[in-house]
Amino acid sequence: MAEKKDNLLNHIDLPVDLRKLKEGELAQVCAELREFIIREAATNPGHLGANLGVVDLTVALHYCYNTPYDKLIWDVGHQAYSHKILTGRRAVFATNRLYKGISGFPKMSESEYDAFGVGHSSTSISAALGIAVASGLNGETDRKVIAVIGDGSMTGGMAFEGLNNAGASQADVLVILNYNNMSIDPNVGGISKYFVQMQASPVYNSLKTKIWKALGKVAWIGPWARRVVQKQNQALKSVVFRKSNLFESFGFRYFGPVDGHDVVGLVRILHDLKAIPGPKVLHVITKKGKGFIPAENDATKWHAAPGKFNIHTGEVFSTTSDVPESPKYQYVFGKTIIELAEQNDKIVGITPAMPSGCSLNMMMKVFPDRTFDVGIAEPHAVTFAAGLAVGGLVPFVNIYSSFMQRSYDQIIHDVALQKLNVVFCLDRGGLVGADGPTHHGVFDLAYMRNIPNMIVSAPMDQVELRNMMFTAQLPDKGPFSIRYPRGNGPLVAWKEEFCEIPVGMGRCISEGDDLAILTIGHAGNFAAQAVKLLQQEGITCAHYDMRFIAPLDMEILNEVNNRFDTVITVEDGIIEGGFGSAVAEIYSSSEKKIRVVRLGVPVRFIEHGSQEELYRECGFDAVGIANTVRKLIKQPKDN
């Protein structure tokens, strides 16, 4: 008899090791995985709730399928920790989301087990269909392709585009709907209500369970009869729900809902489904935060661990000090929009599934009828806002910068072309830190400034954010974009009376004679620090906070052109096509030859790490700016 292993997880380096175990040992593996994830997140905080909820399903999938030959696609990617731990990364998991460590999301260049890179949502079904069709054309007809979609991703329109195409194609794809009634905040909308109805229908589930158990007791016909019933259960669902099943309407065969925390039950169901060809949906019910009581009781708070914590009590260790902390930009947004909404009854707030992430949940409590969570549906959010603007309202649409990329056509066609007064508040503008390249909001300055009629702005501090929001809701402003970073602003005292900022007007932060530094947004604080460092060396720089990239302050640009031969631009955004490029374009037509040195995010995808580490890597933190100034003032202009 084989020696009993005290800790099974320690002996699992790859899924092939997992498949050597008996079914009866899988529950122990799941328990150890949960303990491992909780312990790691307690010291290196990351996405916690969704990962605890999907442990059993992950174990069952890798136990049943021949990964990496069979392709497993995660959607959203922040539920893939168990997958990473079981696929060769347990020993390095302590580096998860840390600078130069492993990514917090599936990443094709990191492992052959990561079949498709994903950090956003609603992409898995389309990707799975593409992989399945390619496998068929390549003669790999035995390959299985599985898409695990959950944490609110099914509310994204792209998921339904994929369902529509996959159902008609008859490709051999399994879509697993991991339903936990949550994204970061509770799911909203008709789709969520439909899934709840399917999950909670006592008539349907009771009847199905009784038939299933009864047939299983008949040894010689049980398995065959169960397959027949599973294939024909549309009639049962139609009778109970009095409507056709959503997935079967798309051409998928639907199975479920089933318990997503019964690992042995999942294994047996997955084995059965492997024998059924064509597009299939398995509806799995899980609990976000499963196995960690604080996370089960408050899934929103524990979507990502809110800091280092006690693994037994869930107590989050305090990081406060006696020094007053400046508030986060998102907090200032949340407080400010309430003040503005109290003054202007036309203001409404919109967010795609991120009310707590962007602090619009503050407005929801005060003005629930004027605040809208539309689910993970950014294109819809923008066009919905356009409709509200046509109706005479002033919508503030708060979307993370990287998520706004999904709705670029709607910004151009539905808002800017029609000159509608929609205010885009782009949270997480710039390098965001540990979430890495899928979440860095580095493209918005470049993609927004090229849109006609669009005012593009970025505050250097919290007071400027308030005043930009105030300015944006004034009459006849048209499309207005305000971007700000993740994290804290520089000011402790930030709540001042509102003041209109003339559109296209910058401000001088400091005077100097050696060269000019032009900045946009929060990165101006790094330049201000650099100016102070250089003053100690006798180097003086004129620093201008431009505040707007479209339109640019031509008065400041002309002043700089007349006074200086060298200009440094600083932005927390992609260096090509952004703020620095806009300045260089202006000066390229000047009769005077002026040297423009652009600092910002280089044209490559920046990996994960802390924001400070990434600013330093890209060379536009205070030290990087100061070093650039020193080099330039020692060089002849033509160098």
Which 3 state secondary structure label does DSSP give 348? strand
Can you tell me the distance from the alpha carbon of 24 to that of 29, in angstroms, rounded to the nearest whole number? 10
Q: What is the largest CA-CA distance in the chain?
A: 93
- Could you tell me if 163 and 252 are in contact, meaning their C-beta atoms sit under 8 angstroms apart? yes
Task: Count other C-beta atoms under 10 Å from residue 20's C-beta.
Answer: 10
Distance of CA 477 to CAs 88, 426, 455, 465, 565, Å?
Answer: 54, 17, 8, 16, 35
Q: Is 381 left (phi over 0), alpha (psi -120 to 50) or beta?
A: alpha
Can you tell me the distance from the alpha carbon of 539 to that of 281, in angstroms, rounded to the nearest whole number? 66
Residue 42, both tokens: 């307690």
Can you tell me the distance from the alpha carbon of 304 to that of 123, in angstroms, rounded to the nearest whole number? 22
Which 3 state secondary structure label does DSSP give 397? strand
- 């080099």: which residue's tokens? 631
Outline where 453-578 has alpha helix (H): 462-472, 524-535, 554-563
Question: DSSP assignment of 285-307, as one string?
Answer: E--TTTT-HHHHH-TTTTSB--S
Q: Smallest Cα–Cα separation from 265: which of 280, 282, 277, 252?
A: 282
Buried b (16+ CB within 10 A) or exposed e, 488-508: bbebeebeeeeeebebbebee
Residue 635, both tokens: 């060089």
- Could you tell me if 9 and 32 are in contact, meaning their C-beta atoms sit under 8 angstroms apart? yes
Which residues are known catalytic residues?
288, 378, 406
